[in-house]
Amino acid sequence: MQPFEYNPNPGRVVFGSGSIKKLPDEIKRLNKSKPLLLSTPQQADQVKALEPILKDGSIAPAGLFSEATMHTPTHVTEKALQYTRECGADCVVSFGGGSTIGLGKAISIRTGLEHVCVPTTYAGSEMTPILGETAEGRKTTKSDPKILPGTVIYDVDFTMTLPEGLSATSGVNAIAHAVEALYARNTNPVINLMALEGTKALAESLPIIVNKPHDVDARSKAQYGAWLCGMCLGSVGMSLHHKLCHTLGGSFNLPHAETHTIVLPHAIAYNSPKIPETMQRLADVLPESHGDAIRGLNVLLTKLKVKRGLKEYGMKEEDVDKAADIAVSNPYWNPREIEKEPLRETIRRCWAGEEAK
Ligand code: NAD
């Protein structure tokens, strides 16, 4: 066995249908009593369901801020911080996907307030000490153990409304964390277990969700998989796939989960000559792979009925060269050397929507 280091991230997880009823106790457990609730405008009605639950547990929310938005812009954070001070909140509860949890992290790291997450997508931000923020059109990412939320309530009931399309792409976004964790330079056997179990749970449940979005068992299994994959993202380093998605999303304004979904089989195909063991282990947990992980991913994406080309989200053909230039300009570790020409071809395939090989 290879030597390794393992740093488990601290954090409490409460999992299961109806577990939101434990929110008041979780807040009291932190010795807090005045939570600020956060959501996007789209989930402003849904987050109000927390108010009667808190009242039943003798907790009165300090306020509700429903302006969370993609890429955690700092001007929204500033507005939320002012509101946090005015309403006298002593903790934050972020209810939603990566965008809302990003705002919760941004407030928590600036104020020191405890952060409780109620995730409603599969993106996994709640399990990471990472925060991406946008100021003056530039997105920067920082990592700090203090950014990691302290308590996470995974209540499947709030994922039932996640539209089929976003469920599919958000789930593949989660699988991407696990796949890159398998071949991370600082990976370890514990993270490998989580990565394989998380990938299997999502690959089995997502096709069911796309056809039967209200299947509670499939939704629970997907959320369990997303939790494990989120832990992978929060524990070890990511490489080509995540860096490329960051470049494409940031430079060409492409949607987060959809971009991850399109790029994943291509990024893995690029790395495949250098990661034969990972390819085999992945193939073992992907249904209908017949021993070929790329085939398994292609089958999964076909079943999920997702868009396969970045051009379908507005990326122009001339952007392929620009993306390749940007992608090679910032060196980082990857199992296969980052070479401009083969990478340009990978990006072209993602743009065109060709099947990965
Ligand atoms: P999101 O949070 O942007 O949500 C997308 C849309 O779906 C929003 O309008 C949201 O309100 C809505 N939505 C979410 N859950 C819903 C539900 N259950 N029912 C109905 N509508 C629902 O999407 P996301 O993919 O979860 O997060 C993407 C963002 O998170 C990106 O900015 C990404 O960079 C960030 N992210 C960060 C990390 C990290 O570790 N820092 C990890 C993953 C993602």
Tally of structural domains, the chain: 2
304 and 332 belong to one structural domain: yes
Note the pLDDT of residue 344: 97
What lies within 8 Å, CB to CB, of 15 at 6+ separation is: 154, 223, 224, 227
Of 159, 186, 205, the one marking the end of a domain is 159
- What is the best residue among 99, 126, 177, 261 to mutate for testing ligand 1's pocket, by most ligand atoms within 8 Å of CB? 99
For 55, the enclosing helix (H) or strand (E) is: helix 50-56
330 and 224 belong to one structural domain: yes
Note the pLDDT of residue 330: 84
Q: How far, in Å, CA of 222 to CA of 227, rounded?
A: 9
Q: Is the pTM of this model over 0.95?
A: yes
**Ligand 1 pocket, CB under 6 A:** 40, 42-43, 70-71, 96-100, 102, 120-121, 123-125, 128, 130-132, 158-159, 161-162, 166, 170, 233, 256-257
149 and 174 belong to one structural domain: no
How many C-beta atoms lie closer than 10 Å to residue 275's C-beta? 18
203 and 56 belong to one structural domain: no
For 86, the enclosing helix (H) or strand (E) is: helix 74-87
What interface predicted TM-score (ipTM) does this complex get? 0.99
Q: How far, in Å, CA of 279 to CA of 284, rounded?
A: 9
**Is 265 within 8 Å of 300 (Cβ atoms)?**
no
For the CA atoms of 74, 76, 78, 82, the dihedral, rounded to the nearest 10 degrees, stands at -170
Q: Which domain CATH number covers 168?
A: 1.20.1090.10
Q: Which atom of ligand 1 is nearest to the CA of 122?
A: 26
Q: How far, in Å, CA of 3 to CA of 229, rounded?
A: 23
Backbone angles phi, psi at 35, to 5 degrees: -75, 145
Q: How far is the CA of 98 from the centre of ligand 1 (A)?
A: 4
Cα–Cα distance list, 117 to 74, 214, 311, 322 (Å): 20, 23, 34, 37
**Is 229 within 8 Å of 173 (Cβ atoms)?**
no
Best CA proximity match to 38, nearest among 133, 107, 112 = 107
225 and 128 belong to one structural domain: no
Of 120, 138, 159, the one marking the end of a domain is 159
Q: pLDDT tens digits for the chain (357 residues)?
A: 889 999 999 999 999 999 999 999 999 999 999 999 999 999 999 999 999 999 999 999 999 999 999 989 999 999 999 999 999 999 999 999 999 999 999 999 999 999 999 999 999 999 999 999 999 877 889 999 999 999 999 999 999 999 999 999 999 999 999 999 999 999 999 999 999 999 999 999 999 999 999 999 999 999 999 999 999 999 999 999 999 999 999 889 899 999 999 999 999 999 999 999 999 999 999 999 999 999 999 999 999 999 999 999 999 999 999 999 999 998 899 999 999 999 999 999 999 999 998
Strands 138-143 and 130-135, how do they pair? Answer: antiparallel
End-to-end CA distance of the chain: 31
Note the pLDDT of residue 137: 76
79 and 227 belong to one structural domain: no
Of 100, 130, 159, the one marking the end of a domain is 159
Q: How far, in Å, CA of 278 to CA of 274, rounded?
A: 9
DSSP 173-200: HHHHHHHHHHT-TT--HHHHHHHHHHHH
Structure tokens at 264: 């994943």
- Asked, for residue 1, whether it belongs to a domain, the answer is no
Best CA proximity match to 335, nearest among 260, 236, 239, 210 = 239
How many C-beta atoms lie closer than 10 Å to residue 80's C-beta? 22
